[in-house]
Chain A
Amino acid sequence: MPENNSRRNFFKTSAIAVTAGATSANADSLKNPGREAGTFRYVGDKTKHYVMVVDLRKCVGCQACSAACKVENSAPKHQYRTFVSEFEIGSFPDVKKGFLPQLCNHCESPLCIPACPVDATFKRDDGIVVVDNTMCISCGYCVDACPYDRRFMNSDTKVADKCTLCAHRVDEGLLPACVETCVGGARVFGDINDKNSHVSKLLASLPQNVLKPYVGTNPQTFYISLDNRVEKIYDETPSINEVLRNELKSINQDQSKGVNNEK
């Protein structure tokens, strides 16, 4: 599409840094034709509010979800839309196992959406955050912006990629692949607008947590029985973003001191 090409050329030739202006996904103007047209897969079902609940008491770290997602969504080698982190918490003999399935949290106030300079990523009316891969210019800002590191640059398509809550299945009345196959029964998917849904009932009856609540993204993936020791390890593990920043900082410092760079 001509419009797309001009956008890409624009960034190639200009040195303008794009600032993350909008603070809310909904404040974006609908520059996406699919969205403007109200094409279903761009906007979803506005009567629904989809969320994921992960009951950690039932997660056994089997990686069935990681495997199913890979197969279902053709994620390239070494790249995953969802994965289960395994931790050993404590030192011998007081050690416990911790599991943390992670996926895009489909935040209410995501940081990825305002970071995108071309509105290629947006939140559907049913809550699912998606990427229009024909609009994405591969700048990587959204990957950088996500405080959960749940976005990646797909090495096959070379555009931003992430969990879509299997929108392609949900839109046809089916469950996401990871939920369908969760051996322990930890993952539960549904609509919290429906008070009788499984997710509503779980969230009404059990205390729940989200990851990094302090970044203000209001994640819509809820964890039951998230032990604060697991949270601590998760929080203390630096995001790529921070690691890169620190690394670049120290490399720049060395450069300014005139130290030779090694390739």
Chain B
Amino acid sequence: MKSNRRNFLIGTSAVAAASLTGCGYNKTLKIASTINSKGAVAKDSIYGDSLETEGKMFNSYEKDEDFSIRGSVCNGCTSNCGVRVKIDNRTEKVVKVTGNPYNPLSTDPWLPYETSLQKSFELLGKDSADNIKYRSTACARGNIVFDKINDPLRVLKPLKRVGKRGENKWEEIDIEQLLEEIVKGGNLFEEGDVEGLASIRNLEDPVNPNNPEMGPKANGLCVLGTGDDGRKAYMVHRFVKSFGTKNYMGHTSICGLSMRAGEAVYLNNFKKYPHLKPDFEHCEYLLTFGTAPAQAGNPFKRQAKLLAEARTERKLKCVTVSPMLTNADSIAVGDKSEWIPIKPGGDLAFAMGLLRVIIEENLFNKSYLALPSKEAQKAAKDASFSNASHLVIQDKVNNGKFLLQGKEPLVVDSKDGTLKLASKVNQAELFVDKTFKIGKTDVHVKSSMSILKEASLSETLDTYAQDSGISKEKIIATAREFVSHGRKSSIDCHGGTMHTTGFYTTYAIMMLGAMVGNLNYQGGMSAGGGRFKDFKGKRYNLLGYGGKVKVKGYRVDKTRTAYEKTTEFKTKKARGENPYPAKDTWYPFVNAIESDVLTNSSQAYPYKIKALLSWNANFIYGQSGTQHIEKVLKDPKDAVGLFIAIDPFINETSKYADYIIPDSVIYETWGVIAPWAGYQTKTNTIRFPTIAPKQAKFKNNEPICMDSFVIELGKRLNLPGFGKNAIKGNDGKKYAFDKPSDFYIRAFENIALDGKPVPDIDDKEITLAGLEPYVSTLKEICGKNWKKTAYVMARGGRFEAKEDGYKNGKLAHPYKGMVSIYNQILGTRRHAITAEKFSGVPKYYPSRFNDGKLLRDVYTIKEYPFDAFSYKSNVLNQSCASSPGILDIRYTTYIDLNPQTASEINVKDGEIVNVISADGKIKGMVRFRNGLYPGSIGIEHGLGRDGEGAVDVTINGKVTKGLVARKSGVNINKLGLLDKSRRLATLSDFVVGSNARQAIPVRVEKI
């Protein structure tokens, strides 16, 4: 009992809440009891060890010579905010990061672009009347994650594995030797012959000899990237398409593919995969599912700032629908914030319930939905139009297709009830279920809106209430409130939809927007503000070059190809066999599924890949259920014979690589990036090395990073588009491509010249922006445009004026396409295994496997009474183990549990428990939270690491022990399920294949 009391003092939350200095009073006692004990002497008697200021601001701003302030892009998360990096010139180290006041992701309103740099510092002085207006910020991550640059465990020299894959034993290898080995292949590991890249890069012979339609051998290289940090276009166009493989995947299938696909189907755009975000600034009612401004969201800071401002100074009410009470809520704003607790995975039921109420009670915007064409939209001065009134054929012939005349849809004119071309009708009939005589044929059609009505009415409100965990009364009240703000009601969703029915969930949520017609309205939904021309621009086409390959065949993730177009299907049909089920799922309108690559290759279906090049891709940590597929990666004879990782850290994924090539980290990198969405004006944020990268160098003195590596590899492989004359000027001139700067500086130049070219920089600004080291490179590459290019670099990019985001209450950069109430591509496709036709409108489907079995029939409530979900952290990210600063603020994560639920299973706050799913098990400490849906288990994502310093690593025989602190916390993905109805695959959305990492059936066991 005594020791409990002492422990109470040190570890109790009461002490922590009171002091928040973490160490409690015992430290004071220790120090005070030996008054003579010497601590480190601070630099200054009053200022202590505080940083020296970057400048002084009295009558004017005077920059301190010892510091450089350069513009760059933070990648503490995927928002890619523009920041200012403070560098101590004496140590060449980054010491601090703040926001870039020209950049809309860090500031609102942001500075007029032509504001002088001098002024940009003066406006932020302590006595400036505008220092609140132009306050430019960084979040917790942004302020601190630069410390990753200095992680002692960073990979700075190329490595080759010694021992088996995954043993984490390495030797340093000269980069030229590494290139030789991966290009030539051979018995590289005394494990047998490994095919090298030169042999794989074959554009003639087929990758699958029995199926030449699957493309050339070159498809045997698969490149996995991650969220675009501004270098994706470089990798994809200059390397992947020079090598000639169809296989490039980003991280979407483990991040938010269910959302991306659901929004692509709503906008009927499977080429560009656009997505929408609310115009937070002017929104009056925001209904957000899962994702919540200030808790997560992209862009993180912009959403948080606009939420705070709009709910305080304007009319915004933010309603968050989530299993967890998020940081979007605040008691300080009273009724302006509401939390609707929901069962994990209950979002589809809730959204369908809302749609049902809106349709049944006729609360939808009729005159908007009745606009059948662009012409009608223009006549009505509206901002978009939909296919609500278009007619879908119900007969066997052409079932599911729109009724067309030529290429144009036919609709029923509400004026006279006759069939007319949509372009000739101002207001069409919304609800149609009729047979028309077209020529000599009877054609039975239903309007999209009728089909949607049927789908939403196909379940009762009671079912929707039961399956969402939200009462009928709440569903009705929310629906009625949602429609009462005109076009200024918005919706949002993202990673919370990453479960087995997430695609339809997103489609249903977006459909709520169609009901109020909010697309392209101020306060409504926006597809983003676009960007200035960068890679393909005024002076250069940086993405085109002679010999660039038109990649062919099938992608190894089975996306972009319909099963019905495959030889397998055609062969079966020709034999008179039922072509269904296919051997495995196919995804005709999905753009990328990283999470199926290894398992597909292991099954040699559609084919086996030979080499994997992963670039900052940590899918072993990020994918739910990888504990089951690590084995296929581990065995070089299984999924992939040659695994090359470009990664600055040895993590859960790169530890399986055969070779690791270092990469630059954060402010050492190049790039040009626009925000994902959630912004209304053209925005290009640029990055260039603000400090010398720390990695080893190539012979030409370029630090080894992704960008320089692919150039050298490309040259070794004699790939097109590298070296002399590889970069195309629009004037016909050609330039060498030997270094990353040859590409990126020219992208900056394109940006500077787009539309009305930017002004020339003046000498003073070159100094203020710390651009002296770049002057000679700029002059060499840009010639007479160097001062304009420098102007863009000095401001961290190019940013359209804030006022140019709106026009007459609508967005100045509208999404120009049609809204799909019914989507024909979706509605005419079948599931490759069950052969069921997909609903072409949002519809309620309970959680299920790919063979149609319901998740909760197989994993019953009795055995697995709870649903586990993960939430995005407002402080952590998924690669912060190497940031001691972030770990200091939030050093662990927990098994969050509602106290009611905990008492039912006799579990106490702080108790260590096991959480068990059918295919996985994790251990963690319980933390009570009242802000949690009962029966759900919440896990903050980002910790519980097995890499990036958490485990032992041996390099050149020297062991670096894993640090316990980096292991701390819980990784929900270890609970991940397999879809046992497939040959080998983790559980995924049944339509689009996104990794099902939410709403995992689990139970809790006391230890």
Contacts and interface: CB of A to CB of B under 8 A. Distances in A.
Given A140-B32, A156-B39, A184 B305 contact: yes
Contacts, number: 326
A237 B16 CA distance: 10
A222 interface: no
A203 to B, nearest CB: 14
Interface string A213-233: 000000000000111011000
A134 interface: yes
A242 to B, nearest CB: 8
A55 B312 contact: yes
Interface string B783-816: 0000000000000000000000000000000000
A64 B138 contact: yes
A204 B349 CA distance: 48
A230 B50 CA distance: 32
B1007 interface: no
A58 B316 CA distance: 13
Contacts of B28: 140, 143-144, 152-153
B931 interface: yes
A20 interface: no
Given A78-B23, A173-B126, A182 B137 contact: yes
Contact of A225 (B25, B333, B934): B333
A89 B331 contact: yes
A73 B138 contact: no
A185 B305 contact: yes
B49 to A, nearest CB: 4
A64 B139 contact: yes
Interface stretch (B1-9, B449-457, B480-488, B556-564): B1-9
Nearest to A180: B98
A68 B48 contact: no
B21 interface: yes
Given A95-B931, A164-B46, A181 B138 contact: yes
A157 B49 contact: yes
A183 B137 contact: yes
A138 B39 CA distance: 10
Nearest to A33: B45
A173 B14 contact: no
Given A167-B46, A175-B124, A250 B339 contact: no
Given A79-B22, A184-B308, A238-B18, A70 B126 contact: no
A254 B2 contact: yes
A173 B55 CA distance: 9
A93 B301 CA distance: 28
A79 B16 CA distance: 11
A137 B874 contact: no
Contacts of A168: 44, 46-47, 50-53
Interface in A131-190: 131-135, 137-140, 143-144, 149, 152-159, 161, 164, 166-170, 172-175, 179-186, 188-190
Question: Which of B38, B144, B331, B933 is the most central at the interface, judged by chain A CB atoms within 10 Å of its CB?
Answer: B331
B39 A159 contact: yes
A247 interface: yes
A133 B2 contact: no
Contacts of B315: none
A252 interface: no
Contacts of A62: 139-140, 294, 301, 304, 327, 874-875
Contact of A88 (B37, B41, B337, B929): B929
B445 interface: no
Given A55-B312, A63-B140, A71 B96 contact: yes
B903 interface: no
Contacts of A59: 308, 330, 332
A49 interface: no
A139 B28 CA distance: 8
Contact of B98 (A79, A181, A227): A181
Nearest to A61: B327
B937 to A, nearest CB: 14
Interface in A96-131: 96-99, 102, 130-131
Nearest to A166: B50
Question: Which of B309, B333, B931 is the most central at the interface, judged by chain A CB atoms within 10 Å of its CB?
Answer: B931
A56 interface: yes
Interface residues of B, number: 103
Contact of B126 (A64, A170, A226, A240): A170
B329 interface: yes
Contacts of B15: 240, 243
B132 interface: yes
Given A183-B137, A185-B132, A237-B18, A57 B333 contact: yes
A64 B330 CA distance: 17
Contacts of B47: 41, 164, 167-168
B45 A58 contact: no
A85 interface: yes
A149 B19 contact: yes
B325 interface: yes
A89 B735 CA distance: 63
A42 B874 CA distance: 38
A78 B888 contact: yes
B143 A244 contact: no
B38 A63 contact: no
Contacts of A68: 98, 138, 143
B180 to A, nearest CB: 43
B294 A61 contact: yes
Nearest to B295: A60
Question: Which of A89, A97, A99 is the most central at the interface, judged by chain B CB atoms within 10 Å of its CB?
Answer: A97
B219 interface: no
Interface string B317-335: 0000000011111111100
Interface string B36-71: 111111101111111111011110000000000000
Given A98-B332, A139-B35, A155-B23, A73 B49 contact: yes
Nearest to A188: B132
B999 to A, nearest CB: 19
B885 interface: yes
Contacts of B142: 64
B125 interface: yes
A168 B53 CA distance: 8
B109 interface: no
B39 A157 contact: yes
B991 interface: no
A139 B96 contact: no
A257 interface: no
A157 B142 CA distance: 27
A135 B132 CA distance: 37
B964 interface: no
Interface in A74-97: 74, 77-80, 83, 85-86, 88-93, 95-97
Contact of A74 (B50, B58, B141, B312): B50
Contacts of A170: 126
B247 to A, nearest CB: 38
A141 to B, nearest CB: 8
B32 A139 contact: yes
A66 B304 contact: no
Question: Which of A12, A62, A95 is the most central at the interface, judged by chain B CB atoms within 10 Å of its CB?
Answer: A62
B438 interface: no
B307 interface: yes
Contact of A155 (B3, B27, B341, B932): B27
Contact of A137 (B24, B35, B40): B35
A96 B325 CA distance: 8
Given A156-B49, A243-B15, 9 more contacts: A41-B47, A60-B294, A92-B341, A97-B931, A180-B135, A180-B137, A185-B132, A237-B17, A240-B19
24 contacts: A56-B330, A62-B294, A62-B304, A62-B875, A63-B139, A64-B142, A66-B140, A67-B139, A71-B97, A71-B144, A98-B332, A130-B46, A133-B45, A139-B35, A152-B28, A155-B23, A158-B40, A168-B46, A169-B53, A180-B137, A183-B294, A185-B308, A244-B9, A247-B6
Cβ-closest 4 pairs across A and B: A158-B39, A173-B57, A78-B22, A60-B294
